[in-house]
Structure 1
Amino acid sequence: MKIAIMGFGTVGTGVEEILYKKKESLLKNCFDIEIDRVLIRDKDKKRSPLKSDIVFTDDFDEILNSQVDTVIDVTSSLEETYERIVLLMKAGKNIVTANKAVVSKYFEELNALARENKVYFSYEASVAGAIPVIHPIMEESFFSDMNKIHGILNGTSNYILSKMEVEGSSYADVLKEAQDLGYAEADPTADVGGFDAMRKIRILSSLIYNAKIDEGDIFTFGISNIKKSDFDYAKELGYSIRLIAKSVLSQGKINISVIPTFLKDNFFAKTFDGTNAVKVWGENFSCYEFKGPGAGRLETADAIMRDLLRILSRREINTFYDASNSYEVENNLKSKFYVRTSKVNPGLKELIEEERVLGQDHHIITREINLDELKTVLDDEMFIVEIEGTI
């Protein structure tokens, strides 16, 4: 199999390293994989691949018009990458991608294109890094209805929250540490704002329910204004705080959100650092669990390799997602919420079950309400947390 790689950054070099170091083992098992060429932006930038004769190009047409069977996409752009994947699929090339932004935004379009052009569209690496979660869900969907999924799907946020919990550090200090270690980008908005996790729960939920879920319909609240006092309050009540992406199909409606959560469930509460964790509930089983590294150079490259070997051995699952089910997105399931704010607006005041004032902040527990009700009283100054066990 001849392949091409679009991008040669952290993950791209990880793929090349695995293919180089495991070449003999792969050949022994009839996996003959050759990197035909690698698409990069700057041909003048010094690169040090393990295989010294790799061909680098900045001309996408060289990839498009080549004889490669499969293209691995490890780029970070959105629209440009989408347009290129469309052209590659129409040219009959299989796609393996780690780009969760492209997969989430254009999930319906790319699945349809894969079917029309009889190519594989593989994206295990776009959700939860090295954890094999996409393919088990695909396989399960043929014979078992799934109705709920919860997950810690962003390693950066989990690193920050677990460090703040264990060490009592401030958000600003832990964020800087995460940036220094390479866990967080210089602009961490996608991670700490919950948008990365939102894209991943959109992908997982779309698969589980075989339904289209617009990104804009997913309630997303991040951790960027969390304080140490929130952890103090949670600890007093016996809770940990984690950023949980969740969706539930109930009475024909999809409840889906990304929101910090007070929880006691050790599967999530004992998930530390950059680890991801996912729980899935289904018809033929009560619940199964996945946990492991949610990001990383070789970790993500590992997921890409699994997709690649499935394609090469013709074991990959043909694209079946067609969004044939139609469900309304409405967060109507009731829960209690914790709200910290320096001022209590009239709408929030009507929702209070318990209130404590510490310094300038009001720490509030609401009565049981649904998320759509809470949205009507939110302002930019508030920090909100859903409380586990009241769903």
Structure 2
Amino acid sequence: MAKRCPDTGWFRKVSTTPSPLLALILFSLAACGKTEAPAPPASDTITVTIAHAGPLTGSIAHQGKDDENGVNLALDQANAKKLKIGGKTVTFKILSEDDQGDPKLGTLVAQKFVDAKVAAVIGHLNSGVTIPASEIYAKAGIPVISGSATNPDLTERKLKGVFRTVGRDDQQGPAIAAYIAGELKAKSVAIVDDKTAYGEGLATEVDKSLRKAGVTMVGRERTTDKETDFKSILTRIKSRNPDVIFHGGMDATGGLMLKQARELGMKSVFAFGDGACTEEMAQLAGPAGEGLACSQAGLPAEAASKEFLDAFTKKYGPTKLYAPFFYDATNVVIEAMRRADSVDPAKFTPEMYNVSLAGATGKLEFDAKGDRKDAEMTIFRMQGGKIVPVAVVKGGVATPFTK
């Protein structure tokens, strides 16, 4: 019987009866085949994906990119340390998605992260996006920690694995309201909100606090976070002549609103929350921004640690607003992994509640809800085209800001 060697094309004669040549022939046939390489040894490294989501396009993309840079810096620094977790050297990588500040798109991004089996999510920027997205993360057992979402509802739903590194609107609202009533000596105030979970929630807290302080509220107007023409609502407010106008919304709308108010000849002082407490207000409002007051649910960026500021500025330039809080949020996750000696969310998420970390924005510890303990509030004014911190509020007590 003839046997063809498949690789060489050679034919060899094979006897059907046993013979001394059989072993040699079989060896020759075996030589035509291919041997498999031995299995590689088990790797002593592991890649862990940390997700980030925020508005990377649109009117507040500058804030979303700032947050993303904060996450990237923390991951780069962790990789440089070659951390060992669970006996393996961990390499962290980022998966970043644009949620456009849209709650519906935010839930789609959340499901994409779940499908990708990310270890944790750092985000989102907006409360109105973070709240519905966190429902998806909680069901999947993936922790989420925001460096900017301030609406109390985020941590009031008894969901496990939901955190923030900033304070809440029911802390921030009373702080800016106290400044409006005390330092600005307002007797009458009008309020405008953008109908988002963040803007409406903060405006409501300011409204309640001002009423308690005996300030007369002369009206509340509603707009949207996509609006660009505010002259109709401003005209209504102008007829009431309030001492102060508080806007619950982001800088993209707040700056334009302030500019248009001055074009209408309005003299009211404008006040804002953290979403509009940015250097971009000087560009958006122009000279009209001078003298505005605003609050931030945390210490100002310039009060962040020198190590963070030096590293961030060298790589990305000056921070916009939330980058230090997103940087700290990322390091909270990494510290929890280190404490649990595991990159499994089921094992390290409980440790996030036990973290005590000296971060870029101060000491980071969390209560049972996932809120940051002892969060400071900062009051700013626009002076010479710059947002300048003037006071820090902690435990309801305001003290002048000193770096």
Q: TM-score by structure 2 length?
A: 0.36
Larger Rg: 2
Bigger share in helix: 2
Q: TM-score by structure 1 length?
A: 0.37
